[in-house]
Chains A and B, each alone.
Chain A
Amino acid sequence: MSDVKEGTPPAGGDDVADRLVITTELDPNKKWVLLSLKGRLDVFTYMGLSKRLNEEIESNPGLNVILELSGVLFVASSGWSVMLATRTRLKRLESRLVLAGMNEDLTRIHSAMKMPGLVPAYPTAAEAKKALAGV
């Protein structure tokens, strides 16, 4: 059984809370924590994601993080910045950040920025979990 909790990013207050909804799932084997995003990851919501990621990393030190993006249609450069900063932080903790479920547009940008070598991406969250389960 996974521990599932609902959450919304604090950035921007209530008026933008529905722009990005974050759902967290914790691996019972303590290998990974999965954050499912739904909405837009833009200049109004990226701080909320950043804060939430920091909280999860502090609560679950040493765990890998999966960002599930199948519910995200748009990621601004600020959003990619948050992912890269998280990747650096996790690397110092000897953990990894992986992405999952990106649509075609996001995959194209992800590749254009040469990010696959830095932040790997998997087609689905299940595949990401499977890959991290063996780490």
Chain B
Amino acid sequence: MKIYLKYSLLLAFVIVLSAGSITGVALLLQRHALTYQALLRAESIAVNLSLVSAEAILTRNVLQLVPLTTDATTRHENVVYAAVIDQTGLVLAHPDRAQLRKPFLFEHLANETSYAVQAAIQTGVGLGRLVWDVSVPVKAKGSLIELGRVHVGIDQRGVEASVSRSLKQLFLVATLCLVLGLALAVYFIRILVRPLQVLSLASAQVGRGDFEVQVPVQSQDEVGELAANFNQMVGNLKAAELRQKVAQRMESELQLAHSIQKGLLPSKDPDLPGWESAFACTPALELGGDYYDWYPVAGGRKVGFAVADVSGKGVPAALHTANLRNLLRFTTAEMESPLQVMCRVNSLAFPDLEDKAFITMVYAVLDPQTGEFTYVNAGHDPLLWVRANGSIEVLPSTTYPVGIVDGAEFEEGTKDNTITLEKGDLVFLYTDGVTEAENEQGKQFGEQRIASLIQGVSAKQAVEQVRSKLNEYIGGRVPHDDVTLLALRRTP
């Protein structure tokens, strides 16, 4: 049921109840007033007759009163009789001459005391009608002796008929007012409820995802406040939707960027007879700052390997990583020496990185024929050289990370380092996402744990074991840094 109908019915009930109560009380008052008026008129007639009757009785000229009683019944509405009786109760004057000198006939039923008149009022039957008999004594002027009484009969049904006519008019007016009041009430309720209907329709629009809708604020009352709050709410929803769309777009773009970055990694291991290699690269966020690649060097006779870690994470780190990839591809195609490559990359990358980020990196060139492995470790975690006999050598950083110092300062402390890998030897490179991974107690995975996992195994096993143990170590929690692993082994 519509709200305006509910309120209209409620208001109609209240109006009918109120109007009915008021009309009922008015009817009672009207009835009383009309009856009182009739009785006062009867008392007035009786008093007037009484005044002239005293002299007529004393002068024994009572017949002159008969026309007066007749006149009283004909001139006044609802007066059934007017009679003058003597002290013994015989009728002295009456409109019906047949009643003269006979006892006054009146069947007394009850005394009436509800009305404030001086005359005596009784309810009873007179001349065959139900009447109020209003009587006053007849006394000589200045005397207390009662010479007789004047009785005036008021027809109760006649008065009731007058009351009824009056009440009908009152009821008609009340009904008209009631109908008019109801019509106005329904009209005003519809006006009052209309903003709510507008809000209801607007809410439905919002529910369908339309956040452009606004409702007019037409008043300063609670409904106006509701409309203003509604508009604000829709505005907030619109802003939230926009933020969600932006977030979705960014998430989508990050996923796309992640896919692109993944595509920047080499799709296959280098084809090196007598050698095996394996790598894994997992970013902590959608985009990572770790990088791995290999390049044919010296016309394909040698292979260059790079493992790098750009400081920071996310989009900035990924952008620097993409830049590094291009610089390395470009540089390694022209130069063979890791020292030269590293210096060139540093000088090219320095302007972009200075004070914003740096790159720790290992770049190494392998001669598959001789096993010579020449590298530069620029601020990166140490390389682990696992010899065929099980011993492990730690090859630490030899120069600054890329992007911290420029030109000569970088070259000054940098040199090529060469080791020779024999059959069964393995070189393991990793980023700090491995060593700094923490377990639930906050203890880091560490270099020693890596070393214990890569002895006497193939390149692929080395990578898989470290990866597997690392995941086990962090206990299923999300790693807080990128993880890159590279193993290169000369087959026994």
Q: Which residues of A contact B (CB under 8 A)?
A: 42-43, 73-74, 76-78, 80-81, 84-85, 88-89, 105, 109, 111-114, 118
Decide if A77 touches B312 in the complex (CB within 8 Å). Answer: yes
Is B400 close to A, CB under 8 A? yes
Using Cβ atoms and an 8 Å threshold, which residues of chain A touch B312?
Answer: 43, 77-78, 81
- Minimum Cβ distance to chain B for residue A115 (Å): 8
A43-B480, A84-B404, A88-B355 known; A78 vs B313 contact (CB < 8 Å): yes
Decide if A88 touches B397 in the complex (CB within 8 Å). Answer: no
Decide if B313 touches A114 in the complex (CB within 8 Å). Answer: no
Q: Which residues of B contact A (CB under 8 A)?
A: 289, 309-313, 354-358, 360, 379-382, 396-397, 399-401, 404-405, 413, 432, 436, 438, 442, 444, 480-481
Q: Which 10 A-B pairs have the closest CB atoms?
A: A77-B311, A113-B379, A112-B397, A85-B355, A114-B400, A81-B311, A78-B312, A88-B355, A113-B401, A43-B313
A84-B358, A112-B396 known; A77 vs B442 contact (CB < 8 Å): no
- Minimum Cβ distance to chain A for residue B340 (Å): 19
- Minimum Cβ distance to chain A for residue B359 (Å): 9
- Give which listed residue, B357, B438, B480, contacts A81 with CB less than 8 A: B357
Decide if A80 touches B358 in the complex (CB within 8 Å). Answer: yes
Using Cβ atoms and an 8 Å threshold, which residues of chain A touch B401?
Answer: 113-114
- Minimum Cβ distance to chain A for residue B199 (Å): 36
Cα A118 to Cα B358 in complex, Å, equals 14
- Minimum Cβ distance to chain A for residue B260 (Å): 22
Using Cβ atoms and an 8 Å threshold, which residues of chain A touch B380?
Answer: 112
Using Cβ atoms and an 8 Å threshold, which residues of chain A touch B313?
Answer: 43, 78
Most A C-beta atoms less than 10 A away, residue of B310, B382, B404, B480: B404
Cα A103 to Cα B414 in complex, Å, equals 27
Can you spell out 16 A-B residue pairs with CB atoms less than 8 angstroms apart? A42-B480, A43-B480, A76-B480, A77-B289, A77-B360, A80-B311, A81-B357, A84-B404, A85-B356, A88-B355, A89-B355, A113-B360, A113-B400, A114-B399, A114-B401, A118-B404
Decide if A84 touches B397 in the complex (CB within 8 Å). Answer: no
Using Cβ atoms and an 8 Å threshold, which residues of chain A touch B356?
Answer: 81, 85
Decide if B436 touches A74 in the complex (CB within 8 Å). Answer: yes
> Could you list 7 further interchain pairs (A-B, Cβ under 8 angstroms) beyond the known A112-B381, A112-B396, A113-B360?
A74-B444, A76-B436, A77-B432, A81-B356, A113-B358, A114-B399, A118-B404
Cα A113 to Cα B403 in complex, Å, equals 11
Main SS of chain B's interface residues?
loop
Using Cβ atoms and an 8 Å threshold, which residues of chain B touch A109?
Answer: 432
Decide if A114 touches B444 in the complex (CB within 8 Å). Answer: no
Cα A81 to Cα B356 in complex, Å, equals 7
- Minimum Cβ distance to chain B for residue A83 (Å): 11
- Give which listed residue, B357, B379, B438, B480, contacts A112 with CB less than 8 A: B379
Using Cβ atoms and an 8 Å threshold, which residues of chain A touch B405?
Answer: 118
Using Cβ atoms and an 8 Å threshold, which residues of chain A touch B442?
Answer: 73
- Minimum Cβ distance to chain B for residue A39 (Å): 12
Using Cβ atoms and an 8 Å threshold, which residues of chain B touch A77?
Answer: 289, 309-312, 358, 360, 432
Using Cβ atoms and an 8 Å threshold, which residues of chain A touch B309?
Answer: 77
Name the CB-closest residue of A to B284.
Answer: A43
- Give which listed residue, A111, A112, A114, contacts B413 with CB less than 8 A: A114
Using Cβ atoms and an 8 Å threshold, which residues of chain B touch A73?
Answer: 442
Decide if A112 touches B311 in the complex (CB within 8 Å). Answer: no
Using Cβ atoms and an 8 Å threshold, which residues of chain A touch B397?
Answer: 111-114
Using Cβ atoms and an 8 Å threshold, which residues of chain A touch B381?
Answer: 112
Cα A42 to Cα B311 in complex, Å, equals 11
Cα A81 to Cα B311 in complex, Å, equals 7
A77-B309, A113-B360 known; A84 vs B396 contact (CB < 8 Å): no
- Minimum Cβ distance to chain A for residue B261 (Å): 18
A43-B313, A77-B309, A85-B356 known; A114 vs B379 contact (CB < 8 Å): yes
Cα A89 to Cα B382 in complex, Å, equals 30
Cα A61 to Cα B312 in complex, Å, equals 28
Name the CB-closest residue of B to A73.
Answer: B442
- Minimum Cβ distance to chain A for residue B366 (Å): 23
Name the CB-closest residue of A to B442.
Answer: A73
Using Cβ atoms and an 8 Å threshold, which residues of chain B touch A112?
Answer: 379-382, 396-397
- Minimum Cβ distance to chain B for residue A50 (Å): 11
Cα A84 to Cα B397 in complex, Å, equals 18
Using Cβ atoms and an 8 Å threshold, which residues of chain A touch B432?
Answer: 77, 109
Name the CB-closest residue of B to A42.
Answer: B480
Name the CB-closest residue of A to B400.
Answer: A114
- Minimum Cβ distance to chain B for residue A129 (Å): 26
Decide if A78 touches B311 in the complex (CB within 8 Å). Answer: yes
Most B C-beta atoms less than 10 A away, residue of A42, A76, A89, A118: A76
Using Cβ atoms and an 8 Å threshold, which residues of chain A touch B354?
Answer: 88
Cα A74 to Cα B481 in complex, Å, equals 12
Cα A84 to Cα B405 in complex, Å, equals 10
